Structure 1
Amino acid sequence: MVRASAVAAGSAGLVAGSLYAVQAQDQEGSTQERQAGLAGTQARQRTGPSPGSQGAAAANRAAALAQRLGARTTGAYLDSAGRPVVTVTNATDAAAVRAAGVTPKMTQRSPASLKRLTSTLQRSLGTTAGTGWAVDPATSQVILWTDGSVTGTRMATVRRTAQRMGTAVRMVRIPGKLSALAAGGDAIFGGGSRCSLGFNVKRAGQDFFLTAGHCGNAVQEWTADQQGAQAVGTTEESSFPGDDFALVRSAPGAAGEGEVNLFNGQSRDITEAGEAVVGQQVVRSGSTTGVSTGSVTAVDATVNFPEGTVTGMIQTTVCAEPGDSGGPLFSGTTALGLTSGGSGDCQTGGVTFFQPVTEPLENFGAEVF
């Protein structure tokens, strides 16, 4: 089981109480509920199996098959009807995928060729802020995106790079400016900052929680209140850029139940961790904007934030705002990711990237409970 919480950070470059904000405005909303922190969790009602549980199960099955195929697939996704699809390169793998109850699809381009294209983008564009890329398994293309900050000679360089690769690369423009966010789930505070607690986890029988690495880099001691009276945890390990996750040891008596706050008086029990799949419907919980929904548009994405490059990310249509960083991304009762950054807001929409939760769980030897 798992639960959500939030944090604000007070380091250099903070905007409107967030660690790395995409805009200088933070919603007030239901402040008392958002900042109730861990103490308010016990009053929430747990919900039963969610409507997204069946989709999460299909996505988990497709992701597991794709993982077993390794270099012989460009990935898995859910089609417009919500059916799991795994791309394959040969008839033998197609038969095995079909036997597992998943639809196989022959790739138009080989996984090796698409990997070479992403490697070329890395060499050509390096860490150019405001750019990123990922393989789209449904079209066998590499999607190359730019945000509103990429203009003039930088945009000309990106376009020339894409044109040299032909139709295998499709350019997409993202409105606004990509940046790492800060906050999520129930609010947690440190050093004048706020972020979000992502998922409560256990390691060697001890209580911890996960949050964003750019939050953990900035704050050592976390509390459930802005005044610093209610200790909630101490950052033990943090990784950003490259990754975006941190492990926080829960303070004595501060560990919460295994739930995610739905900000409507209810919570969602999280029972396992899994891999996100393109096309999957997902939910994000955060202290600034509460609950937001959307779909996965890419996995294993490379994102060049101004604060640094992060790889292996989940790209979604879910909106987020400053203060949502570190908060949980989930589908049904499956934990998927930690809010990292993006562009836009929850009034006009946007693009948000998430650190896959399976990586820190493996890295720290932890598990959801």
Structure 2
Amino acid sequence: MQGAKWDSLLAATRGKAVRVERTPGVLSLFAEGGDAIFAGGARCSLGFNVTTNSGPGILTAGHCAAAGRRWSLTQGGRPVATLKRSTFPGNGDFALLTYDNAATNAPSVVDTGGGRTVAIARAAAAQVGRQVSRMGSTTGLHSGRVTALNATVNYPEGRVTGLIQTTVCAEPGDSGGSLFSGDGSAIGITSGGSGNCRTGGVTFFQPVTTALAAVSARIG
């Protein structure tokens, strides 16, 4: 803000218990793993921020792509990312969105709530028995264990292969969210399942390593 608008703001706040301060540079929105993303009235969750040859991007669930091409970080907000590629159903459930502003601050972290974050340093394959955590915009942070690999799920929309099966609960809106481990490894992207976070259930996740390879992206 500058010129007449800045002068008006100073005049309006003069003598009041308000601090007005200019911040250098251009401010931009950023989002972290597990945060909500919106398109066409639908809400999903951001899986992981990634780097592509054209700039920063977002990995989320492929079935979320049905909601629209343009995605925002707030309900009804200005779109900040565009769908570039999606797979669902078939050989996975993943989508790549790219930030419209190549200078967007897109940290490789998962927002676990309460001002806490987990830094994501790498992508790693799931292992049966491994303790994992899942962050989503509906139910927040939950943990469990990997119970199977290369699972096939018959959704109403079609069959999806190559998924990770876990005991971590999830609910609608958590789709696309982050499955990760305590050592900072990105493991999966929330796909679907049965049950809820009150009674428990079975959930399935798209392996991050497979999705990154398919969209030519990387963590960090």
Tell me the residue number matched to 1:120.
none
Tell me the residue number matched to 1:240.
88
Shift of 1:205: 5.3
Give 1:191's match in structure 2, choosing from 19, 34, 40. Answer: 40
Structure 1: gaps spanning 5 or more residues: 1-37, 42-183
Tell me the residue number matched to 1:220.
69
Tell me the residue number matched to 1:342.
193
Contact 2:31 2:73 in 1 (8 A): no
Query: What is the DSSP-based 3-state SS (H/G/I as helix, E as strand, rest coil) of the residue aligned with 2:34?
Result: coil
Tell me the residue number matched to 1:314.
164
Change (3 A) 1:255 1:309: farther
- The whole-number CA distance in structure 2 between the counterparts of 1:258 and 1:240 is 25
Tell me the residue number matched to 1:261.
111
- The whole-number CA distance in structure 2 between the counterparts of 1:314 and 1:264 is 28
Contact 2:41 2:67 in 1 (8 A): no
Runs of 4+ in 1 over 4 A off after TM superposition: 38-41
Tell me the residue number matched to 1:354.
205
Q: Note the 1:5-84 alignment, pairs <5 A.
A: 39=30
- The whole-number CA distance in structure 2 between the counterparts of 1:202 and 1:354 is 21
Contact 1:296 1:317 in 2 (8 A): yes
Shift of 1:218: 2.6
Tell me the residue number matched to 1:281.
131
Shift of 1:305: 1.1
Shift of 1:254: 4.0
2:190 alignment partner AA: T
1:251 equivalenced with 2:100 (yes/no): yes
Tell me the residue number matched to 1:30.
none
- The whole-number CA distance in structure 2 between the counterparts of 1:40 and 1:272 is 18
Tell me the residue number matched to 2:155.
305
Shift of 1:367: 0.4
- The whole-number CA distance in structure 1 between the counterparts of 2:105 and 2:164 is 27
Change (3 A) 1:247 1:193: same
Give me the TM-score of the superposition, normalised by structure 2: 0.82
1:274-313 alpha-carbon deviations (Å, 9 max, x no partner): 1101100000000000100000000001111112111110
2:185 alignment partner AA: T
Aligned length: 189
Bigger relative CO (Cα 8 Å, ≥ 6 apart): 1
1:189-230 alpha-carbon deviations (Å, 9 max, x no partner): 11111001101111125111100000023320000111223x
Give me the TM-score of the superposition, normalised by structure 1: 0.50
Query: What is the DSSP-based 3-state SS (H/G/I as helix, E as strand, rest coil) of the residue aligned with 1:344?
Result: strand
- The whole-number CA distance in structure 2 between the counterparts of 1:273 and 1:39 is 21
1:70-129 alpha-carbon deviations (Å, 9 max, x no partner): xxxxxxxxxxxxxxxxxxxxxxxxxxxxxxxxxxxxxxxxxxxxxxxxxxxxxxxxxxxx
1:210 equivalenced with 2:59 (yes/no): yes
- The whole-number CA distance in structure 2 between the counterparts of 1:312 and 1:292 is 22
- The whole-number CA distance in structure 2 between the counterparts of 1:213 and 1:40 is 19
More helix by share: 1
C-alpha RMSD over aligned residues: 1.5
